[in-house]
Structure 1
Amino acid sequence: DMWQHIGGAGASFAVAPDTVYALTPKRDAVYRYDGTGTSWTMIGGAAGQIYAGEWGRGLVATKLDSGSLRSYLGTPGSWKITGTAGASFAVATDSVYRLYPNSYAVYRYTGTGITWTKIGDAAHSIVAGDI
């Protein structure tokens, strides 16, 4: 039942297999925990929301203005556009999943450009885990 202080407040946090990511309280930057003490490295700019898991580099973030999805490429400041806006996203071991903005369908990222494949109909929410 021991807790370790690793940092301050954030708008949201996302846990990946090897680290923790944080979105600053004002949503103006994304940080990756360095693994010791309270040391964090800024890896990206403004974001609306962050989601982590095992796929790719483990982190995706929505753009603050448009809601489009970006994938972290493993180097601070290095991101690629992965898709358009969604109601929510979930990162699994094999891919990223998107609940369409009006929740009428679930899509799976193909791994190429901004191409997604419909895999299900309307849903209230989505989550992902090991598959």
Structure 2
Amino acid sequence: MTPLTYTLVVNGPLYGSQSARSAYQFARALIQKGHTLVSVFFYQDGVTNGTALSVPANDEFDLAKAWQSLAVEHHVRLETCVAAALRRGILSEEEASQHNVFKDNLAGEFVQAGLGSLAEAMLTQDRVIQF
């Protein structure tokens, strides 16, 4: 088997649908099979996966923290679409400053990126899969 490079596109919110959790499980499975997950691009409601303000109940799976751990363990870029994130109140430190917003709330290990980053992934990765 030849290892492949992947980018995942997550459109589903942090909670409220199975999309983001399925993407996370798929990410873990492809890494376990020896493939490389280069990046995860969070788009539309998927940008909510990048919030630093999520506090799930003690008995619930903390998907936001799981994404962060995956990024650290496997050197995966976690990118939130900057336009979609701004519309949904997810701001990096830089964006908060630029828009005169009191506080940023983008979780650690996440960065904000434009659609050009997704376009580049579509051109350079072996597979791009949307959830």
Q: If the length of structure 1 is used for normalisation, what is the TM-score? A: 0.25
More helix by share: 2
Structure possessing the higher relative contact order (Cα contacts under 8 Å, 6 or more residues apart): 2
Greater strand fraction, Structure 1 or Structure 2: 1
TM-score (norm 2): 0.25
